[in-house]
Structure 1
């Protein structure tokens, strides 16, 4: 049986930190699916379609990575698609506390799905989608924060 891990997030936008986690997770699993989880009540900079396109371009060089989107509980998606694991990136202890709570509730919903935490590589530990948007707003260089495919669309928003 092929192993499937799901890496969920809003990816508004996808960052080099996300790609770092995806690249490393793809060495462990047969398939890593980046799952754009969207909430129609949440305000985002990019539309679902824009984010899906940016993600697909950003992961084109990663043959084991696939892309999908979902509205609803991530654990339900993972269960419905016979995933074995959810991948979560950790930048620090603040992320860890929140992610542990989410992992605990997910285990209640499906004890067969593991949550695996990957520490973000040092050079990406400071990157968040919020920081990226602030950098773009103030016309800062983005090439060390986001994939090349995201730079122009991000600059166009500001």
Structure 2
């Protein structure tokens, strides 16, 4: 078990926004791996609500009291970033079977690019199966209540972005 504790896992994503599902997965992974790096992706085909710096700052605030968790932004190929951090595991969350095909393809491509890096999948906690960053953004944008789906300070940041009537549940 000690050899596993020295292992560094990189959990990549856009985290736009960081949800309670992400937080749960990181905390559970930190019990398995010695260090979990939350790697906030700057390169993405998605149009983010928050800038890379904002997403990094939000995640840093969430994990500020957990010495096992580091938060960093990155750009470029994930395997290159993982190697630069002297990590050997890419951590991915799985909510449902629908996630599997995409995640499987990515894991195989990363394995092709660097055979020394393993991808480890962790199932999401059942409480967060229905949560995704995309859904949370849509709910908040249209005035729905996102309390309990994201950490409170993330909800506050989303309220700032969408306006006070959105994301609070008020008027929804």
Bin of the TM-score, shorter chain as denominator length: over 0.9
**Divergent runs of 4+, >3 A:** none
What are the Cα deviations for residues 87-124 of structure 1, in whole angstroms up to 9, with x where unaligned? 00001011111100000011111111110000001110
TM-score by length of 2: 0.87
Q: Is 1:3–2:7 an aligned residue pair?
A: yes
Instruction: Flag the structure with more relative contact order, 1 or 2, with Cα contacts below 8 A and sequence separation at least 6.
Output: 1
Of 115, 130, 137 in structure 2, the residue corresponding to residue 111 of structure 1 is 115
Aligned length: 158
1:59 and 1:107 mapped to 2: Cα distance? Answer: 29
| Aligned 1:75-94 pairs, distance under 5 A | 75-94=79-98
What are the Cα deviations for residues 133-152 of structure 1, in whole angstroms up to 9, with x where unaligned? 01111222222110111011
Return the index of the structure with the highest Cα Rg.
Answer: 2
Secondary structure of 2:83's counterpart equals: helix
1:45 and 1:26 mapped to 2: Cα distance? Answer: 27
1:58 and 1:5 mapped to 2: Cα distance? Answer: 18
Decide whether the 8 Å contact of 1:88 with 1:118 is kept in 2. Answer: yes
Instruction: State the match for 1:33 in structure 2.
Output: 37
